[in-house]
A and B are shown apart, each in its own frame.
Chain A
Protein backbone atom coordinates (compact mmCIF):
# COMPACT_ATOMS: atom_id res chain seq x y z
CA UNK A 1 0.00 0.00 0.00
CA UNK A 2 1.27 3.46 -0.78
CA UNK A 3 0.21 6.82 0.60
CA UNK A 4 -2.68 5.23 2.51
CA UNK A 5 -4.83 7.79 4.26
CA UNK A 6 -8.01 7.00 6.19
CA UNK A 7 -10.18 9.67 7.70
CA UNK A 8 -13.18 9.26 10.02
CA UNK A 9 -15.10 12.50 9.88
CA UNK A 10 -12.65 15.02 11.40
CA UNK A 11 -10.00 12.61 12.64
CA UNK A 12 -7.23 11.04 10.62
CA UNK A 13 -6.87 7.35 11.44
CA UNK A 14 -4.03 6.66 9.00
CA UNK A 15 -1.83 9.34 7.53
CA UNK A 16 0.15 8.54 4.40
CA UNK A 17 1.13 4.97 5.28
CA UNK A 18 3.44 3.02 2.95
CA UNK A 19 3.68 -0.68 3.78
CA UNK A 20 4.32 -4.02 2.10
CA UNK A 21 3.72 -7.46 3.62
CA UNK A 22 5.10 -10.79 2.43
CA UNK A 23 4.41 -14.35 3.62
CA UNK A 24 4.78 -14.91 7.35
CA UNK A 25 3.09 -13.68 10.50
CA UNK A 26 3.10 -9.91 10.89
CA UNK A 27 2.15 -8.30 14.15
CA UNK A 28 0.52 -4.89 14.11
CA UNK A 29 1.19 -3.32 17.48
CA UNK A 30 0.13 0.01 18.82
CA UNK A 31 -1.77 1.81 21.54
CA UNK A 32 -5.54 2.22 21.41
CA UNK A 33 -6.77 4.39 18.53
CA UNK A 34 -3.39 4.15 16.79
CA UNK A 35 -5.01 3.15 13.50
CA UNK A 36 -4.51 -0.63 13.61
CA UNK A 37 -8.15 -1.51 13.05
CA UNK A 38 -8.47 1.06 10.26
CA UNK A 39 -5.49 -0.53 8.54
CA UNK A 40 -6.90 -4.04 8.92
CA UNK A 41 -10.33 -2.93 7.64
CA UNK A 42 -8.81 -1.34 4.54
CA UNK A 43 -6.80 -4.51 3.88
CA UNK A 44 -9.96 -6.58 4.38
CA UNK A 45 -11.63 -4.39 1.71
CA UNK A 46 -14.49 -3.48 4.05
CA UNK A 47 -13.42 0.17 4.32
CA UNK A 48 -12.24 2.39 1.53
CA UNK A 49 -9.22 4.63 2.05
CA UNK A 50 -9.64 8.38 1.67
CA UNK A 51 -6.47 8.44 -0.37
CA UNK A 52 -3.69 6.14 -1.51
CA UNK A 53 -3.41 2.85 -3.34
CA UNK A 54 -3.82 -0.66 -1.98
CA UNK A 55 -2.71 -3.69 -3.94
CA UNK A 56 -3.40 -7.17 -2.61
CA UNK A 57 -2.13 -10.31 -4.33
CA UNK A 58 -1.24 -8.17 -7.33
CA UNK A 59 -4.77 -6.73 -7.64
CA UNK A 60 -5.67 -3.09 -7.14
CA UNK A 61 -8.61 -3.31 -4.72
CA UNK A 62 -9.85 0.11 -5.81
CA UNK A 63 -11.37 -1.71 -8.81
CA UNK A 64 -14.54 -3.51 -7.69
CA UNK A 65 -14.08 -6.51 -10.01
CA UNK A 66 -10.55 -7.08 -8.79
CA UNK A 67 -11.73 -6.54 -5.23
CA UNK A 68 -14.12 -9.48 -5.64
CA UNK A 69 -11.28 -11.72 -6.78
CA UNK A 70 -9.18 -10.72 -3.79
CA UNK A 71 -12.02 -11.34 -1.33
CA UNK A 72 -12.24 -14.99 -2.34
CA UNK A 73 -8.63 -15.45 -1.26
CA UNK A 74 -8.84 -13.45 1.93
CA UNK A 75 -9.79 -14.41 5.49
CA UNK A 76 -10.83 -11.84 8.07
CA UNK A 77 -11.64 -11.89 11.75
CA UNK A 78 -12.93 -8.49 12.90
CA UNK A 79 -12.86 -7.42 16.52
CA UNK A 80 -16.63 -7.98 16.68
CA UNK A 81 -17.44 -10.45 13.95
CA UNK A 82 -21.19 -10.68 14.53
CA UNK A 83 -22.86 -14.06 14.41
CA UNK A 84 -26.33 -15.56 14.27
CA UNK A 85 -27.04 -17.15 17.66
CA UNK A 86 -29.44 -19.68 16.13
CA UNK A 87 -26.86 -20.98 13.70
CA UNK A 88 -24.75 -23.99 14.54
CA UNK A 89 -20.99 -23.70 14.20
CA UNK A 90 -21.22 -25.73 10.98
CA UNK A 91 -23.94 -23.47 9.57
CA UNK A 92 -22.13 -20.25 10.40
CA UNK A 93 -18.84 -21.36 8.87
CA UNK A 94 -20.78 -22.67 5.83
CA UNK A 95 -22.48 -19.28 5.51
CA UNK A 96 -19.10 -17.55 5.31
CA UNK A 97 -17.90 -20.18 2.82
CA UNK A 98 -20.96 -19.26 0.71
CA UNK A 99 -20.03 -15.56 0.95
CA UNK A 100 -16.58 -16.55 -0.30
CA UNK A 101 -18.14 -18.41 -3.27
CA UNK A 102 -16.53 -21.69 -2.36
CA UNK A 103 -17.66 -24.61 -4.54
CA UNK A 104 -20.60 -26.50 -3.03
CA UNK A 105 -18.84 -29.84 -3.26
CA UNK A 106 -15.74 -28.64 -1.42
CA UNK A 107 -17.53 -26.74 1.33
CA UNK A 108 -18.59 -29.45 3.81
CA UNK A 109 -15.05 -30.87 4.06
CA UNK A 110 -13.53 -27.37 4.22
CA UNK A 111 -15.92 -26.42 7.04
CA UNK A 112 -15.02 -29.53 9.04
CA UNK A 113 -11.33 -28.90 8.46
CA UNK A 114 -11.58 -25.28 9.60
CA UNK A 115 -13.54 -26.23 12.71
CA UNK A 116 -11.03 -28.97 13.53
CA UNK A 117 -8.19 -26.46 13.27
CA UNK A 118 -9.67 -24.46 16.14
CA UNK A 119 -10.48 -27.56 18.19
CA UNK A 120 -14.25 -27.33 18.02
CA UNK A 121 -15.03 -30.58 16.19
CA UNK A 122 -17.03 -31.93 19.13
CA UNK A 123 -19.19 -28.77 19.12
CA UNK A 124 -19.62 -28.43 15.35
CA UNK A 125 -23.39 -29.01 15.51
CA UNK A 126 -23.93 -26.93 18.65
CA UNK A 127 -25.82 -23.64 18.39
CA UNK A 128 -23.43 -20.73 18.71
CA UNK A 129 -25.55 -19.23 21.50
CA UNK A 130 -24.67 -22.23 23.69
CA UNK A 131 -20.91 -21.65 23.39
CA UNK A 132 -18.64 -19.75 25.75
CA UNK A 133 -17.00 -16.45 24.73
CA UNK A 134 -13.69 -18.15 24.00
CA UNK A 135 -15.38 -20.81 21.86
CA UNK A 136 -17.26 -18.13 19.91
CA UNK A 137 -13.92 -16.44 19.24
CA UNK A 138 -12.64 -19.76 17.89
CA UNK A 139 -15.69 -19.98 15.61
CA UNK A 140 -14.59 -16.57 14.31
CA UNK A 141 -11.13 -17.94 13.61
CA UNK A 142 -12.65 -20.99 11.87
CA UNK A 143 -14.71 -18.82 9.52
CA UNK A 144 -11.58 -16.81 8.68
CA UNK A 145 -9.61 -19.89 7.59
CA UNK A 146 -12.40 -21.86 5.89
CA UNK A 147 -11.38 -20.81 2.38
CA UNK A 148 -7.66 -21.55 2.95
CA UNK A 149 -6.89 -17.87 2.36
CA UNK A 150 -3.67 -16.46 0.98
CA UNK A 151 -4.05 -13.45 3.23
CA UNK A 152 -5.39 -13.65 6.76
CA UNK A 153 -6.33 -10.60 8.78
CA UNK A 154 -6.97 -10.93 12.49
CA UNK A 155 -8.08 -7.98 14.60
CA UNK A 156 -7.46 -8.65 18.30
CA UNK A 157 -7.88 -12.40 17.80
CA UNK A 158 -6.86 -13.48 21.28
CA UNK A 159 -9.37 -11.29 23.12
CA UNK A 160 -11.52 -13.60 25.23
CA UNK A 161 -9.24 -16.63 24.89
CA UNK A 162 -7.87 -18.27 28.02
CA UNK A 163 -4.07 -18.75 28.37
CA UNK A 164 -4.17 -22.31 26.99
CA UNK A 165 -6.25 -21.25 24.01
CA UNK A 166 -3.89 -18.34 23.36
CA UNK A 167 -0.90 -20.68 23.29
CA UNK A 168 -2.78 -22.93 20.84
CA UNK A 169 -3.77 -19.94 18.74
CA UNK A 170 -0.18 -18.76 18.48
CA UNK A 171 0.80 -22.23 17.25
CA UNK A 172 -2.00 -22.03 14.68
CA UNK A 173 -0.72 -18.62 13.58
CA UNK A 174 2.74 -20.04 13.02
CA UNK A 175 1.32 -22.91 10.95
CA UNK A 176 -0.82 -20.54 8.89
CA UNK A 177 2.10 -18.17 8.37
CA UNK A 178 4.11 -20.92 6.70
CA UNK A 179 1.96 -20.65 3.57
CA UNK A 180 0.05 -17.39 3.85
CA UNK A 181 0.49 -13.76 4.75
CA UNK A 182 -1.00 -13.39 8.22
CA UNK A 183 -1.50 -9.94 9.71
CA UNK A 184 -2.45 -9.80 13.38
CA UNK A 185 -3.51 -6.58 15.01
CA UNK A 186 -3.07 -6.73 18.76
CA UNK A 187 -2.12 -4.70 21.75
CA UNK A 188 -0.66 -7.78 23.47
CA UNK A 189 3.06 -7.62 22.87
CA UNK A 190 3.60 -11.16 24.17
CA UNK A 191 1.45 -12.51 21.30
CA UNK A 192 3.73 -10.73 18.86
CA UNK A 193 6.86 -11.97 20.58
CA UNK A 194 5.65 -15.56 20.51
CA UNK A 195 4.11 -15.86 17.07
CA UNK A 196 5.22 -13.14 14.67
CA UNK A 197 8.09 -13.04 12.24
CA UNK A 198 7.80 -9.28 11.78
CA UNK A 199 6.36 -6.45 13.81
CA UNK A 200 4.98 -3.10 12.71
CA UNK A 201 4.31 -0.50 15.35
CA UNK A 202 1.56 1.98 14.53
CA UNK A 203 1.14 5.20 16.45
CA UNK A 204 -1.17 8.13 15.72
CA UNK A 205 -1.86 6.88 12.19
CA UNK A 206 1.79 6.52 11.24
CA UNK A 207 4.32 3.72 11.15
CA UNK A 208 6.48 4.20 14.21
CA UNK A 209 8.69 1.14 13.84
CA UNK A 210 9.21 -1.94 11.66
CA UNK A 211 11.43 -4.85 12.43
CA UNK A 212 11.47 -8.28 14.00
CA UNK A 213 10.23 -9.04 17.51
CA UNK A 214 13.89 -9.55 18.41
CA UNK A 215 14.96 -6.15 17.13
CA UNK A 216 12.04 -4.49 18.92
CA UNK A 217 13.03 -6.24 22.15
CA UNK A 218 16.62 -5.07 21.67
CA UNK A 219 15.40 -1.46 21.60
CA UNK A 220 14.34 -1.88 25.22
CA UNK A 221 17.90 -2.01 26.45
CA UNK A 222 18.34 -2.52 30.19
CA UNK A 223 15.64 -3.58 32.65
CA UNK A 224 15.41 -0.03 33.98
CA UNK A 225 12.91 1.11 31.35
CA UNK A 226 9.13 0.83 31.69
CA UNK A 227 7.72 -2.60 30.87
CA UNK A 228 7.92 -6.08 32.36
CA UNK A 229 9.57 -7.86 29.44
CA UNK A 230 12.22 -6.99 26.88
CA UNK A 231 9.65 -6.60 24.10
CA UNK A 232 7.41 -4.40 26.25
CA UNK A 233 10.38 -2.17 27.00
CA UNK A 234 11.23 -2.13 23.30
CA UNK A 235 7.63 -1.24 22.49
CA UNK A 236 7.74 1.68 24.92
CA UNK A 237 11.14 2.81 23.64
CA UNK A 238 9.94 2.77 20.02
CA UNK A 239 6.82 4.72 20.94
CA UNK A 240 8.84 7.32 22.83
CA UNK A 241 11.24 7.63 19.93
CA UNK A 242 8.41 8.12 17.45
CA UNK A 243 6.80 10.77 19.60
CA UNK A 244 10.10 12.66 19.91
CA UNK A 245 10.62 13.71 16.27
CA UNK A 246 14.37 14.17 16.36
CA UNK A 247 14.96 10.69 17.74
CA UNK A 248 12.43 8.90 15.56
CA UNK A 249 14.71 8.69 12.58
CA UNK A 250 17.33 6.91 14.63
CA UNK A 251 15.10 3.98 15.61
CA UNK A 252 12.95 3.60 12.52
CA UNK A 253 14.57 1.27 9.99
Chain B
Protein backbone atom coordinates (compact mmCIF):
# COMPACT_ATOMS: atom_id res chain seq x y z
CA UNK B 1 0.00 0.00 0.00
CA UNK B 2 2.74 2.41 -0.92
CA UNK B 3 1.10 4.79 -3.39
CA UNK B 4 -2.46 5.30 -2.22
CA UNK B 5 -1.66 5.12 1.50
CA UNK B 6 0.35 8.36 1.76
CA UNK B 7 -2.22 10.07 -0.50
CA UNK B 8 -5.03 9.07 1.84
CA UNK B 9 -2.92 10.14 4.81
CA UNK B 10 -2.38 13.57 3.22
CA UNK B 11 -6.12 13.89 2.60
CA UNK B 12 -6.94 12.79 6.14
CA UNK B 13 -4.80 15.67 7.41
CA UNK B 14 -6.39 18.14 4.97
CA UNK B 15 -3.03 18.81 3.33
CA UNK B 16 -4.35 20.54 0.20
CA UNK B 17 -6.78 22.87 2.02
CA UNK B 18 -3.96 23.67 4.45
CA UNK B 19 -1.55 24.58 1.66
CA UNK B 20 -4.25 26.67 0.00
CA UNK B 21 -4.89 28.47 3.30
CA UNK B 22 -1.16 29.20 3.68
CA UNK B 23 -1.06 30.68 0.17
CA UNK B 24 -4.18 32.70 1.01
CA UNK B 25 -2.57 33.95 4.24
CA UNK B 26 0.49 35.04 2.29
CA UNK B 27 -1.68 36.90 -0.24
CA UNK B 28 -3.56 38.62 2.56
CA UNK B 29 -0.28 39.60 4.29
CA UNK B 30 1.08 40.93 0.98
CA UNK B 31 -2.02 43.01 0.46
CA UNK B 32 -1.97 44.27 4.06
CA UNK B 33 1.77 45.12 3.98
CA UNK B 34 1.46 47.22 0.84
CA UNK B 35 -1.70 48.89 1.98
CA UNK B 36 0.09 50.50 4.90
CA UNK B 37 1.58 53.97 4.72
CA UNK B 38 5.19 53.23 5.63
CA UNK B 39 6.22 56.89 5.11
CA UNK B 40 3.99 58.24 7.87
CA UNK B 41 4.38 55.31 10.23
CA UNK B 42 7.32 53.01 9.44
CA UNK B 43 6.57 50.71 12.37
CA UNK B 44 3.26 49.67 10.82
CA UNK B 45 5.02 46.65 9.34
CA UNK B 46 4.98 45.22 12.87
CA UNK B 47 1.32 44.12 12.73
CA UNK B 48 1.98 42.19 9.53
CA UNK B 49 5.13 40.55 10.87
CA UNK B 50 3.37 39.63 14.13
CA UNK B 51 -0.07 38.62 12.89
CA UNK B 52 0.53 36.89 9.55
CA UNK B 53 2.71 34.17 11.19
CA UNK B 54 0.00 33.76 13.80
CA UNK B 55 -2.56 33.08 11.07
CA UNK B 56 -0.20 30.63 9.35
CA UNK B 57 0.45 28.86 12.66
CA UNK B 58 -3.30 28.59 13.24
CA UNK B 59 -3.70 26.97 9.82
CA UNK B 60 -0.87 24.52 10.56
CA UNK B 61 -2.16 23.79 14.06
CA UNK B 62 -5.68 22.90 12.97
CA UNK B 63 -4.25 20.62 10.26
CA UNK B 64 -2.75 18.47 13.03
CA UNK B 65 -6.25 17.24 13.89
CA UNK B 66 -7.01 13.59 13.29
CA UNK B 67 -10.56 12.24 13.27
CA UNK B 68 -9.51 8.62 13.63
CA UNK B 69 -7.13 8.93 16.56
CA UNK B 70 -8.16 5.66 18.18
CA UNK B 71 -7.63 3.68 14.97
CA UNK B 72 -4.43 5.55 14.14
CA UNK B 73 -2.97 4.30 17.41
CA UNK B 74 -3.19 0.74 16.07
CA UNK B 75 -0.85 1.54 13.17
CA UNK B 76 1.97 -0.93 12.75
CA UNK B 77 4.63 1.75 12.26
CA UNK B 78 5.37 4.46 14.82
CA UNK B 79 3.77 7.82 14.05
CA UNK B 80 6.64 10.15 14.84
CA UNK B 81 8.23 10.17 11.35
CA UNK B 82 4.90 11.12 9.71
CA UNK B 83 4.26 13.82 12.29
CA UNK B 84 7.77 15.17 11.84
CA UNK B 85 7.44 15.34 8.06
CA UNK B 86 4.03 16.99 8.30
CA UNK B 87 5.09 19.66 10.80
CA UNK B 88 8.45 20.42 9.21
CA UNK B 89 6.98 20.45 5.70
CA UNK B 90 4.17 22.86 6.53
CA UNK B 91 6.49 25.07 8.61
CA UNK B 92 8.94 25.22 5.70
CA UNK B 93 6.18 26.19 3.27
CA UNK B 94 4.93 28.94 5.60
CA UNK B 95 8.48 30.19 6.29
CA UNK B 96 9.16 30.33 2.56
CA UNK B 97 5.90 32.03 1.54
CA UNK B 98 5.28 34.64 4.25
CA UNK B 99 8.56 36.62 3.91
CA UNK B 100 7.54 37.53 0.34
CA UNK B 101 4.97 39.87 1.91
CA UNK B 102 7.67 42.06 3.51
CA UNK B 103 10.58 41.90 1.07
CA UNK B 104 11.12 45.66 1.05
CA UNK B 105 12.25 45.97 4.67
CA UNK B 106 15.00 43.43 5.14
CA UNK B 107 16.75 44.81 8.25
CA UNK B 108 14.12 45.57 10.84
CA UNK B 109 10.70 44.01 10.24
CA UNK B 110 11.43 42.11 7.05
CA UNK B 111 11.87 38.46 6.07
CA UNK B 112 14.11 37.41 9.03
CA UNK B 113 11.56 38.62 11.57
CA UNK B 114 8.75 37.00 9.57
CA UNK B 115 10.58 33.65 9.47
CA UNK B 116 11.42 33.83 13.16
CA UNK B 117 7.83 34.61 14.12
CA UNK B 118 6.48 31.88 11.86
CA UNK B 119 8.68 29.29 13.55
CA UNK B 120 7.98 30.56 17.05
CA UNK B 121 4.21 30.75 16.57
CA UNK B 122 4.15 27.31 14.96
CA UNK B 123 6.09 25.87 17.91
CA UNK B 124 3.66 27.34 20.44
CA UNK B 125 0.73 26.07 18.36
CA UNK B 126 2.20 22.56 18.06
CA UNK B 127 2.65 22.39 21.84
CA UNK B 128 -0.92 23.62 22.30
CA UNK B 129 -2.17 20.87 19.94
CA UNK B 130 -0.66 18.31 22.31
CA UNK B 131 -2.06 19.94 25.42
CA UNK B 132 -5.47 21.18 24.29
CA UNK B 133 -6.20 19.46 20.97
CA UNK B 134 -5.54 20.59 17.41
CA UNK B 135 -8.78 22.47 16.86
CA UNK B 136 -8.07 24.90 19.70
CA UNK B 137 -4.31 24.92 19.19
CA UNK B 138 -4.32 28.45 17.74
CA UNK B 139 -5.71 29.96 20.92
CA UNK B 140 -2.62 30.06 23.22
CA UNK B 141 -0.38 31.53 20.50
CA UNK B 142 -3.07 34.04 19.63
CA UNK B 143 -3.41 35.03 23.29
CA UNK B 144 0.33 35.25 23.85
CA UNK B 145 1.15 37.28 20.75
CA UNK B 146 -1.82 39.60 21.38
CA UNK B 147 -0.71 40.17 24.97
CA UNK B 148 2.88 40.81 23.90
CA UNK B 149 1.66 43.14 21.16
CA UNK B 150 -0.22 45.21 23.73
CA UNK B 151 2.28 44.99 26.60
CA UNK B 152 5.69 45.26 25.00
CA UNK B 153 5.39 48.84 23.74
CA UNK B 154 6.93 50.61 26.71
CA UNK B 155 8.92 47.70 28.11
CA UNK B 156 12.70 47.97 28.28
CA UNK B 157 15.57 45.67 29.28
CA UNK B 158 17.35 42.58 27.98
CA UNK B 159 14.56 40.19 29.00
CA UNK B 160 12.11 41.95 26.70
CA UNK B 161 13.96 40.65 23.65
CA UNK B 162 13.17 37.13 24.86
CA UNK B 163 9.57 37.27 26.12
CA UNK B 164 8.49 39.79 23.50
CA UNK B 165 10.11 37.90 20.63
CA UNK B 166 7.18 38.40 18.21
CA UNK B 167 7.68 42.21 18.41
CA UNK B 168 11.44 42.31 18.05
CA UNK B 169 13.41 43.46 14.97
CA UNK B 170 14.88 40.75 12.74
CA UNK B 171 18.50 40.75 13.94
CA UNK B 172 17.65 40.47 17.67
CA UNK B 173 19.46 37.35 18.94
CA UNK B 174 17.41 36.89 22.11
CA UNK B 175 14.20 36.86 20.10
CA UNK B 176 15.62 34.27 17.69
CA UNK B 177 16.71 32.07 20.61
CA UNK B 178 13.23 32.25 22.17
CA UNK B 179 11.40 31.56 18.89
CA UNK B 180 13.68 28.68 17.93
CA UNK B 181 13.37 27.21 21.42
CA UNK B 182 9.56 27.40 21.14
CA UNK B 183 9.68 25.72 17.73
CA UNK B 184 12.03 22.96 18.89
CA UNK B 185 10.17 22.27 22.13
CA UNK B 186 6.67 22.46 20.64
CA UNK B 187 7.70 20.47 17.58
CA UNK B 188 9.40 17.76 19.65
CA UNK B 189 6.38 17.50 21.93
CA UNK B 190 4.00 17.15 18.99
CA UNK B 191 6.19 14.66 17.15
CA UNK B 192 6.53 12.50 20.25
CA UNK B 193 2.93 12.66 21.52
CA UNK B 194 0.69 13.75 18.65
CA UNK B 195 -2.29 16.03 19.04
CA UNK B 196 -4.53 15.43 22.02
CA UNK B 197 -7.52 13.27 21.06
CA UNK B 198 -10.75 15.21 20.73
CA UNK B 199 -14.31 13.98 20.91
CA UNK B 200 -15.91 11.43 23.17
CA UNK B 201 -12.68 10.01 24.56
CA UNK B 202 -10.19 12.66 25.68
Binding site for B on A (CB under 8 A): 44-46, 64, 68-69, 71-72, 74, 76, 78-84, 86-87, 91, 94-104, 107, 143
Is B156 engaged at the interface, CB distance under 8 Å to the other chain? no
Could you name 5 residue pairs across A and B whose Cβ atoms are closer than 8 Å?
Answer: A44-B73, A71-B75, A74-B74, A81-B70, A95-B68
In the bound complex, how far is the Cα of B140 from the Cα of A40, in angstroms? Answer: 35
Measured between beta carbons, the chain B residues less than 8 angstroms from A84 are 11-12, 67-68
B74 touches A95 (CB 8 A): no
Instruction: Give the residues in chain B near A83, CB-CB below 8 Å.
Output: 67-68
Range of interface residues on chain B? Answer: 20 to 34
Question: How many Å lie between the Cα of A90 and that of B6 in the bound state?
Answer: 15
Set B4, B8, B12, B71: member contacting A81, Cβ < 8 A: B71
Which 6 residue pairs across A and B have the least CB separation, nearest first? A98-B5, A46-B73, A82-B68, A99-B75, A98-B1, A78-B70
A101 and B77 contacting across the interface, CB-CB below 8 Å:
yes
**What residues on B are CB-neighbors of A69 within 8 Å?**
76
Interface string of B43-67 (1 = CB under 8 A from A): 0000000000000000000000011
* Chain A interface mostly: loop
- Whether the pair B11, A96 counts as a contact (CB closer than 8 A) is no
B→A interface (CB under 8 Å): 1-6, 8-9, 11-12, 66-78, 199-201
Q: Which residues of chain A come closer than 8 Å to B200, judged between CB atoms?
A: 79-80
CA distance A101 to B76 in the complex (A): 7
Q: Which residue of B lies closest to A68 (CB)?
A: B76
With both beta carbons as reference points, the residue of chain A lying nearest to B8 in the complex is identified as: A95
Contacts of B1 in A (CB 8 A): 94, 97-98, 101-104, 107
Q: Are A46 and B8 in contact (CB under 8 A)?
A: no
Q: Are A99 and B4 in contact (CB under 8 A)?
A: no
Verify B70–A80 contact, CB threshold 8 A. yes
CA distance A96 to B1 in the complex (A): 10
Among A46, A68, A107, the residue within 8 A (CB) of B77 is A68
Let me know if A98 and B67 touch, CB within 8 A: no
Distance in Å: Cβ of B24 to nearest Cβ of chain A: 20
Q: What's the Cα separation between A72 and B12 when bound, in Å?
A: 21
Q: Which residues of B contact A64 (CB under 8 A)?
A: 78
**Does the CB pair B71–A82 fall under 8 Å?**
yes
Residue contact A71 to B74, C-beta cutoff 8 Å: yes
How far apart sit A201 and B14, CA to CA, in the bound complex (Å)?
42
Are B76 and A99 in contact, with the CB atoms below 8 A? yes
B76 in contact with A104 (CB, 8 Å) = no
Given A79-B200, A82-B67, A103-B1, is A72 in contact with B76 using a C-beta cutoff of 8 Å? yes
